[in-house]
Amino acid sequence: MIGEIQYEILEPAVAYKLPDGTVIYCLSPDHPDGVTNEILVSILLNRLRVQGRNRPTKATSRAITKCEELEETLWRFTVEKQQHREELAHVV
């Protein structure tokens, strides 16, 4: 990661503590109500779009494009995973 990490990793891929003490739990077997990758990317994308409208820069535009690409990749992965589950359900 570039720059200083501004959060604490409590449990890799599961729990993160922000500087204000807020703990973010990601979706996992122990945290079925946790935040998904898709939600995290969507939040970041929303924030970048608002910042881009308020103060457009090339860097913000590039970040938005990359987040949109990531959002699409995660969406495709989710669709493929759902299709695979449906195929397995028909096999049983």
pLDDT in tens, 29-79: 999 999 999 999 999 999 999 999 999 999 999 999 999 999 999 999 989
Q: Which amino acid is at 81?
A: K
- What pLDDT shows up at residue 87? 84
Based on the fold, state whether residues 6 and 22 are members of the same structural domain: yes
Based on the fold, state whether residues 45 and 86 are members of the same structural domain: yes
Contact 70, 44 (CB under 8 A): no
User: Domain of 88?
Assistant: 36-92
pTM of the predicted structure, to 2 decimals: 0.81
Based on the fold, state whether residues 29 and 45 are members of the same structural domain: no
- What domain count does the chain have? 2
**Does residue 92 register a pLDDT over 70?**
no
Based on the fold, state whether residues 41 and 62 are members of the same structural domain: yes
Q: Quick one: pLDDT band at residue 1, thresholds 50, 70, 90?
A: low
**Does residue 10 register a pLDDT over 70?**
yes
Distance between CA atoms of 48 and 51, rounded to whole angstroms? 5
Distance between CA atoms of 65 and 27, rounded to whole angstroms? 25
